[in-house]
A and B are shown apart, each in its own frame.
Chain A
Amino acid sequence: KQEVTQIPAALSVPEGENLVLNCSFTDSAIYNLQWFRQDPGKGLTSLLLIQSSQREQTSGRLNASLDKSSGRSTLYIAASQPGDSATYLCALPDQAGTALIFGKGTTLSVSS
């Protein structure tokens, strides 16, 4: 059964810092991996989708990498801003490819 772990559970940084959020998974036979952002009391917003054949995806100040062999993905946020404060969730399809399995998230706080 696929298990997804996100470390750290919480992270506080000053504005302007570059930071890395980590996601690890137990089954490397994955189709893709998706990073989401969730603001308090809100829904999930998709940030990046990495296909299994890709090693990374970039969107603005965000860069996500995927290393299937080691069962890891990282989300790199450059020049963090207070508006980046949110919970970041990593998710992968289950072994049947029918539903997403989520990590418990990393809650990021960026102070000005």
Chain B
Amino acid sequence: NAGVTQTPKFRVLKTGQSMTLLCAQDMNHEYMYWYRQDPGMGLRLIHYSVGEGTTAKGEVPDGYNVSRLKKQNFLLGLESAAPSQTSVYFCASRSTGTNYGYTFGSGTRLTVV
């Protein structure tokens, strides 16, 4: 049981480059999330999805796009990377209902130079 898998684990981008972060979960969870974690700022929600084909903005969505074409996958895209997007990115998922807990991936460390 892999849980939540993020790829890649590390990446260095040049300013202006684009990339896609992939999150895959094998728990049949409806809800999926992308967070970023920065020193002193804690974890902040970028985008989330409440089901296949849906996406919604979180607290810090600017500069990012997402897609949920398949229930098990949630993609985070950076169209034109900026140094301010240097961060650690975490994906999470959970099932529906109130008796749920969140499962997190191991993170992607992104550096934009």
Contact partner of A43 among B41, B56, B106, CB < 8 A? Answer: B106
Tally of A interface residues using CB under 8 Å? 23
Contact size range, B = 20 to 34
Contact partner of A104 among B42, B50, B104, CB < 8 A? Answer: B42
B residues sitting closer than 8 Å to A (CB atoms) are 31, 33, 40-43, 45, 48, 50, 56, 58, 90, 92, 98-107, 109
Q: A42-B107, A104-B42, A105-B42 are in contact. Are A98 and B48 (CB under 8 A)?
A: yes
* Residue in B closest to A32 when the chains form the complex, CB atoms: B98
**B100 → chain A, closest Cβ, in Å?**
8
Query: Is the beta-carbon distance between B105 and A43 smaller than 8 angstroms?
Result: yes
**A75 near B: Cβ within 8 Å?**
no
Distance A45 CA – B56 CA, assembled complex (angstroms): 25
Distance A99 CA – B93 CA, assembled complex (angstroms): 10
Query: Is the beta-carbon distance between B101 and A49 smaller than 8 angstroms?
Result: yes
Chain A neighbourhood of B106, CB < 8 A: 42-43
Query: Is the beta-carbon distance between B98 and A44 smaller than 8 angstroms?
Result: no
Query: Is the beta-carbon distance between A102 and B43 smaller than 8 angstroms?
Result: yes
Chain A neighbourhood of B56, CB < 8 A: 98
Distance A52 CA – B92 CA, assembled complex (angstroms): 21
Query: Is the beta-carbon distance between B43 and A99 smaller than 8 angstroms?
Result: no
**A97 near B: Cβ within 8 Å?**
yes
Distance A15 CA – B105 CA, assembled complex (angstroms): 30
Query: Is the beta-carbon distance between A46 and B48 smaller than 8 angstroms?
Result: no
Query: Is the beta-carbon distance between A99 and B48 smaller than 8 angstroms?
Result: yes
Distance A45 CA – B104 CA, assembled complex (angstroms): 7
**A12 near B: Cβ within 8 Å?**
no
Query: Is the beta-carbon distance between B105 and A99 smaller than 8 angstroms?
Result: no
Distance A42 CA – B103 CA, assembled complex (angstroms): 14
A-B complex: 8 closest residue pairs judged by Cβ atoms: A43-B106, A44-B104, A104-B42, A49-B101, A102-B43, A31-B98, A43-B107, A99-B45
